[in-house]
Amino acid sequence: STRKHEDDLKWMNRYVDHFKDNLIKKYLNKIKRLQEKTTNTGTKQQA
């Protein structure tokens, strides 16, 4: 039963890491898009 508990913990850790990676990727993509938007509007205003 302890063995199963250890496996569950391992699985949880893997899952949490995966989840964090996805969140970070989503967040970075959002920031990138926002930056592109602001630079695009910035260049439009200058032109």
Q: What is the pTM of this model?
A: 0.55
6-34 pLDDT, tens digit each: 999 999 999 999 999 999 999 999 999 99
pLDDT for the residue 44? 66
How many domains are there within the chain? 1
pLDDT for the residue 43? 66
Euclidean distance between CA atoms 40 and 38, whole angstroms: 5
- Boundaries of domain holding 36: 1-47
24: helix, coil or strand? helix
Euclidean distance between CA atoms 10 and 4, whole angstroms: 10
Higher pLDDT: 24 or 38? It is: 24
* Residue 33 φ then ψ, to 5°: -60, -45
